[in-house]
Amino acid sequence: MSRLTLALRVAIALLMVDSAIELAFVSSMVAWLHRTASKGFSFNHDGSTYRLAGEPIHIMTDQGHTSNGAAGTAFVIVGLGGILAFALRHLSLNKHDGRGTFARSVYYLWVSLNIPAFMLTTGALAYVFAVTNAHEGQSIDVALATSLDGSKYPLAYWTPQNWFSAVLQLDIVDARGDIESHLRVMRGWQYNLIAMFLIQLGVTILAVWEFLSWRRQATFNREEK
């Protein structure tokens, strides 16, 4: 095994680990939003306690779905697909029948799919940060919140990160630690996209480089025969 091939396989393994972390973080956020946050929170204001719905009316979740899609694509197509492609490529050595052609076709397909998969991750990274930054610094109108009696907050559009950052600005009666913990998870999958982008960039470059090297070696071997 060449150093280039070894480097590519290590990079694929790192990408699979990182994309699995991304999937776990997003899944944890979604589960918490539905099971816990949806029940709402209590907060104090001017000596009285009020109920705040766990989510506003205009909650934006597309960035989580986009990140989940990018991570799933990286894990399945690039990661598991890479393992299969390399296994088939190894089995196709010195085979020039239909099985060898099929194995090489799978490998060629995997190499070509690395580019759109990387573009998806790039798009997810840009989209998530653009949307989150566009709504950064928003705050909850406390006077309005006290009048809602647990109904969903109607003003503005919110990402989960920005909504719960604003919730923490209130005098929360309980669950502050829980909110802070899950807000870190939300920030975690957001910033983990940067790591996933960098690792996948390396995988894509190495995959194309290794493919060209393998083709040159295969051509040389055929000419030697």
Helices (H) and strands (E) in the chain, counts: 7, 3
DSSP per position, 44-58: EETTEEEEE-SS-SS
Q: Residue 84 corresponds to which amino acid?
A: L
Mean pLDDT of the chain: 91
Whether 121 has a pLDDT exceeding 90, the answer reads yes
Residue 147 has what DSSP assignment?
T
Measure CA of the first residue to CA of the last residue in the chain; give whole Å.
21
- Three-state DSSP at 175 gives coil
Whether 93 has a pLDDT exceeding 70, the answer reads no
pLDDT of residue 224: 57
pLDDT of residue 33: 92
| 208 within domain boundaries | yes
| 225 within domain boundaries | no
Q: Establish how many alpha carbons lie within 13 A of residue 117's alpha carbon, considering only the half-sphere containing its beta carbon.
A: 29
| 116 within domain boundaries | yes
pLDDT of residue 94: 57
Which residue's structure tokens are 């918490």?
Answer: 32
pLDDT of residue 66: 95
| 63 within domain boundaries | yes
pLDDT tens per residue, range 127-178 = 999 999 999 999 999 999 999 988 999 999 999 999 999 999 999 998 899 9
pLDDT tens per residue, range 61-71 = 899 999 999 99
pLDDT of residue 149: 87
Whether 216 has a pLDDT exceeding 90, the answer reads no
**Torsional sign, CA 21, 23, 27, 29:** positive
Which residue's structure tokens are 């989150």?
Answer: 132
| Residues making up the chain, counted from first to last | 225
Whether 179 has a pLDDT exceeding 80, the answer reads yes
Identify the domain containing residue 90 by its residue range. 3-36+52-220
Q: What's the rounded Cα separation, in Å, for the pair 28 and 82?
A: 27
Q: What's the rounded Cα separation, in Å, for the pair 163 and 146?
A: 17
Q: What average pLDDT score do residues 76-102 get?
A: 81
| pTM, rounded to two decimals | 0.89
| 45 within domain boundaries | no
| 43 within domain boundaries | no
| 46 within domain boundaries | no
- Mean pLDDT is lowest, of 93-102, 142-151, 193-202, for 93-102
Say what the alpha-carbon torsion angle 113, 116, 120, 123 is, to the nearest 10 degrees. Answer: 160
Q: Count the domains in the chain.
A: 1
